[in-house]
Amino acid sequence: MNQDYVIGVDLGGTKLDIALMKIVENSGITATKAYEIIENIKLATNVERGAENIVVDMVSSIDWLASKHRVTVKTVGIAVAGQVDMAGEVVTYAPNLGWKNVPLKKWFKKKFPKLCYSTMLELPQ
């Protein structure tokens, strides 16, 4: 059976929390999806290393999880405390990370060009 896998990243000032999840169809009345966590890893953010190195750590961790479990990741969702631009592509200000105008979507597209993108960073409706 062909499964869809996604990555969820909680990008905090002190830690990265990265989860590989399998999408499982919700058998309820609504058409929402449910997720089963396959593996969750945590590592230090090390903000003093800068935004690009933090993104390298995220990408490396995502690659490692996908390789370890021999899956293809369909999409990556990133939660970051801070402000993003209206297009959802640039972290304009994240004080706990020391970030200003970090083009997070652009950097991820370089590494994961085949992922589906509408907006990398989405604000709650």
Cα(108)–Cα(16) distance, integer angstroms: 16
Q: What is the pTM of this model?
A: 0.81
Other C-beta atoms closer than 10 Å to the C-beta of 43 total: 13
- Identify the CA nearest to 47 among candidates 81, 77, 12, 89: 12
Between residues 28 and 108, the one the model is more confident about: 108
Which pLDDT score, from 0 to 100, does residue 23 have?
Answer: 86
- In the three-class reduction of DSSP (H, G, I as helix; E, B as strand; rest coil), residue 39 is classed as strand
Is pLDDT above 90 for 49? yes
Between residues 111 and 103, the one the model is more confident about: 103
Between residues 107 and 27, the one the model is more confident about: 107
Confidence of residue 122 (pLDDT cuts 50, 70, 90): very low
CATH topology (fold) of 5-111: Nucleotidyltransferase; domain 5 (3.30.420)
Select the highest-mean-pLDDT range: 29-33, 108-112, 114-118.
108-112
Directed axis angle between helix 51-69 and helix 104-111, to 10°? 40
